[in-house]
A and B are shown apart, each in its own frame.
Chain A
Amino acid sequence: MSGAPHEDIDAHSGTATTGHEWDGIRELNTPLPKWWLYILYATIVWAIGYIIVYPAIPLISGHTPGVAGWTSRGAVTQELAQLTQQRAPMTSTLEKASFSEITKDERLRTFALAQGRAAFGDNCAPCHGAGGGGAFSFPNLNDDDWIWGGSLEAIQQTIQYGIRSTHPDTRIGIMPAFAQILNTKEIGQLVNHVRALGGLTTENTYDKPLADRLFGEQCAACHGDGGKGNIELGAPNLVDSIWLFGSDKASILQTLARGRASMMPAWNGRLDDTTIKALSVYVQSLGGVKTVP
């Protein structure tokens, strides 16, 4: 606590100065209270204590752990555990509830939607997009077309066992490669026919009677006589405006000639049943639930 010699007293104010001078401007010394200084010392002591108790000093690989054993990862785990505990009553209700119970109970449905949204972001968004908007070969979950059915039970089964997955109970439906069955001309006719079914333009070479016959022989077994698809087999509706693999001539040609067999993994075992249930509710809500009269 040294200061300036007492000769350095400012003539105007009669106050001692610190002896510091900048371009003729001198700093007056108005002594601070001692406790102010002691608070500074106290903060230094506090800092030392903090360094001992908490992780503080970076080392070459890692850092000093601190005697309290606190880690940010540990804190997150603890918070998550607390959250799980808080949600436990609702989670167990959801676990036991049937889909019709969930639909009727606004509170339970809201909870399922929130859980489903979180699980969707973690597990489904990489393929289906953050909002379930889909992409080429990954279905858009926001539209009103459900290849394997849009009921909650159907969606649940799809999520549980997947599509063309490795699970024994998986949904299977394969679009075969017709390049080995039909010749180029016949495939060309079918390309035009599929486009015509979907209300799109056709080429002049389109021979409807021939195409009708070919469709009846090769396609109707799965896609139905009118091309309206079959949910049981996962055969898409061809007369609607939704094209999972593209509606242009080249894409349809590729689909017909080479076949299509995109895959959705089975989530059974990776996600628990309650999460899958919540996901089903959420995914169905994306596609729009009709106003209940």
Chain B
Amino acid sequence: MSVKQEQLREAALEAEGVSSPLYASRKKIYPQSVDGYFRRMKWAILVVTLGIYYLLPFVRWDRGPYAPDQAVLVDLVNRRFYFFFIEIWPQEIYYLTGLLILASLTLFLMNAIAGRIWCGYLCPQTIWTDLFLAIERVIEGDRRERMLKGRSKWTPGRIRDAVAKHTIWLMIPWWTGGAWVLYFTDAPTLVMQLVTFTAPYIAYVWIGILTVTTYFFAGYMREQVCIYMCPWPRIQAALTDEHALNVTYRYDRGEPRASVKQAETLREQGKPAGDCVECNQCFNVCPTGVDIRDGLQIDCIQCGLCIDACDNVMTKIGRTTGLIGYDTDINVQRRQSGLEALNVRIVRPRTLLYAAVIAIVGSIMLYALVTRIPIEISVLHDRNPVYVRLSEGGIRNAYTLRLLNKELQPKRFHVHVSGLPGAQLDIAGAKIDEQGKIFIDVGADQSRELRALITMKRDELTPGRHDIRIVASNPETGRAAMAKNLFIVPEK
């Protein structure tokens, strides 16, 4: 009888004559330590991802004198996002949209290939929980000791352990929040401010918020975040198919379960005996308290630790490893009906489709990034009044002109109007060079708003709406940006 069934039976017995509860206390989980291929891979991922998270704000990237030199920076005050050689303005938020689309498609693809890779190996919740568990184990001991301590009375030793554990548990999230705020301002400066207690209060607020959430999510909530709070397991369940690899238990090999001795006896008698010795190691190491032998279930984050645990036991008792392993649904069924397992089909229409869409979205984003024009011009026609009659009898239209210089150098732009012969352009605040061209200086990585007036003399007027173009060009690079608009002349 599996652990889950046992729990159910107990619950049913308890409920005899009483009613089954709608709310239940959490059954505390004491995951046991384990070593093996997946555990070591998870340690490596933990070190790499946390290393990136904690150290990335300190990486420098030279952008010249007009922009910050932090490689990754979300500059909310100046409304800029810097990522190494990429700089994004707020109106280019579609890059972020594209990035989110790419991220979700990548999740879909991972899911189609090998199930909940994200949940088991990459999710921050999993990684920080792993780290917290490791600290708990070092201080309070492994599963058995912790279970015993959990039932025993408070002794000075236990108090000491608890203080040590919670101190370290609080230091990690404190630095987690500390690293978070470093992404929003110059990291070395803020570190100095934090050390000397001169940082802006909002930094302390955010560090506080992240300290509290990390401490509770990784220290206490743990698997409950995945089971009750996170929508992704449900989405994954809807996305998976019979060809996706998942952590599974080989029923055909494992059942019926019997201890090593029992199995020997049974086999001598010519009766069937499975490889599962019911040591419950797979259940003991599970960070979400799942019995993998109950099959694919929503609580399972597929971290692969039960594979390690089972393989260790199988090696010890001299049986083939792989009683628990990555397998597809289709093979699970085939094996149970005594059929040959099929090769895993990683390349199939579903994965091809996801890969294709990723490639398309990625290419579009790359194209947009490579062809990004560092000048932008936008022109807004005055609404009130739409046109003005001047003393001479001519007509003037007024516009609000905005010039964007996305380069990290101050730039000079020539501005002219085309499409309307005889049109005279005047821009308040602009200057005229020796050749009589209107030019506007825009600071490095800045935008500038100006009032532009276009005038037509009385003799040149034709009533109607005339299409015009206002062109801003950079005399050095020859690059130009253009905005279409109208010049409106009344009937009389």
Contacts and interface: CB of A to CB of B under 8 A. Distances in A.
Interface of A: 1-6, 9, 14-16, 18, 29, 31-37, 106, 109, 129-134, 140, 142-145, 199, 237, 240-242, 285, 288-293
Interface string B449-489: 00101000010000000000000000000000000000000
Given A131-B384, A142-B398, A143-B388, A3 B393 contact: no
A140 B384 CA distance: 10
A33 B388 contact: no
B201 interface: no
Contact of A289 (B11, B17, B428): B428
Given A129-B385, A140-B388, A3 B19 contact: yes
Interface in B13-36: 15-26
A288 B428 contact: yes
A153 to B, nearest CB: 19
B20 A16 contact: yes
Given A31-B24, A142-B398, A242 B389 contact: yes
Given A31-B24, A240-B392, A292-B430, 16 more contacts: A5-B19, A16-B11, A18-B22, A29-B20, A31-B23, A34-B26, A35-B26, A134-B385, A142-B398, A144-B390, A240-B391, A241-B389, A288-B398, A288-B428, A288-B453, A291-B431
B101 interface: no
A285 B393 CA distance: 20
A2 B21 CA distance: 6
Contact of A291 (B15, B18, B438, B458): B438
Contacts of B458: 241
A143 B398 CA distance: 11
Interface residues of B, number: 41
Contacts of B15: 6, 16
A106 B429 contact: yes
Contacts of B438: 291
Interface string B278-308: 0000000000000000000000000000000
A130 B384 contact: yes
A6 B384 contact: no
A286 to B, nearest CB: 8
A215 B162 CA distance: 104
B130 interface: no
Contacts of A3: 19-22
Interface string B373-396: 000000000111100111111001
Contacts, number: 122
Given A142-B398, A285-B451, A291-B438, A33 B24 contact: yes
Interface of B: 5, 8, 11-12, 15-26, 224, 228, 382-385, 388-393, 396, 398, 426-432, 438, 451, 453, 458
A136 to B, nearest CB: 13
Contacts of A289: 426, 428
Given A5-B19, A15-B8, A133-B384, A290 B391 contact: no
20 contacts: A3-B20, A4-B20, A6-B16, A6-B17, A6-B19, A6-B20, A29-B20, A32-B22, A33-B24, A34-B24, A34-B26, A129-B385, A131-B384, A131-B385, A133-B388, A134-B385, A143-B388, A241-B390, A288-B453, A290-B426
A237 B11 CA distance: 99
A69 to B, nearest CB: 24
A6 B17 CA distance: 7
A48 to B, nearest CB: 22
B247 to A, nearest CB: 21
A34 B25 contact: yes
Contacts of B427: 291
B224 A33 contact: yes
Given A130-B384, A288-B426, A288-B428, A32 B391 contact: no
Nearest to A199: B393
B459 to A, nearest CB: 12
